[in-house]
Amino acid sequence: MFYLGKKELTINKKEILFVILAGGLSSRFEGGLKTFAKINGKTLIQIIINFLKKQNVEVVINTNFEEKLFKKSNLPIIKDIKLGFQGPLAGIHSAMFWANKKKKCKKWIFAIPCDTPFLPENLIDRFVNNKNQKAEVLIARSNGKIHPTVSMWDVNLLNKLEDELSNNNRKIMEFVKKNHFNFIDFKFNNLDPFFNINTKSDLEIFKNQIKINLNN
């Protein structure tokens, strides 16, 4: 159910738990986990962590790998409840469950993948200031392209999400379309700010774009 209403509601950032999705297998990124690939001396996940630290928000990392790999982050590590690398939907579900178990009093889960280091500076403000009253999920969209893993979720969807995963349904948009949702639109001229790095070639494209930006 795609809801387009006129009334908007601002969300308090303290009511949001931000989860960095770093649980993927990096199957297309030859030679190690892409999470720790470096750009200008910083790993992809460190770039995302730094981005979120500027916002003064609560952050956790969702991963299915050894916790010691993420020790330097000094952030809570959440493992998927559903085993077997079931994808980002499982990570979002696990973050909801963790927030509820820890009595964090969070109303929203904001998911950000670890492989999108070019996020727009106004990302979070656009989400919290464009919340439609009936929308249970908000999803980033840039120049018409949908980015399901950059999204904010009502924690009351926990039970529905549990049922979805139990039925082996792991596609984000298939689940989203069963609920009230809305897109948060972004425009760009050159590199898509939601460009995600899946391969070594993607990494080189991003590095080259940084050089272009620095020279302009």
Domains located in the chain, CATH noted: 8-215 (3.90.550.10)
40, 49, 61 from 37: Cα distances, Å: 10, 14, 17
Q: What's the rounded Cα separation, in Å, for the pair 153 and 96? A: 9
Res 86: pLDDT:
76
Res 25: pLDDT:
53
13 with 105: CB under 8 angstroms? no
Distance spanning both ends of the chain, measured CA to CA: 43
Res 109: pLDDT:
97
Res 213: pLDDT:
54
pTM (whole model) above 0.85: yes
**Mean pLDDT per 10-residue section of the chain, whose length is 216 residues:** 45 94 65 79 92 95 86 91 82 95 92 93 92 87 96 96 92 96 92 84 74 51
User: Closest Cα partner for 172 from 93, 116, 98, 114?
Assistant: 93
Q: Is 93 exposed, middle or buried (0-12, 13-18, 19+ CB in 10 A)?
A: buried
Q: What's the rounded Cα separation, in Å, for the pair 182 and 2? A: 6
Distance of CA 61 to the CA centre of its chain: 10
Res 9: pLDDT:
55
Instruction: Record the tokens describing residue 33, joined without a space.
Output: 């986990």
Rounded to the nearest 10 degrees, how much is the dihedral formed by the CA atoms of 131, 132, 137, 138? -50
Res 69: pLDDT:
85
Q: What's the rounded Cα separation, in Å, for the pair 141 and 138? A: 10
Q: Facing residues of 137 across strands? A: 153, 181
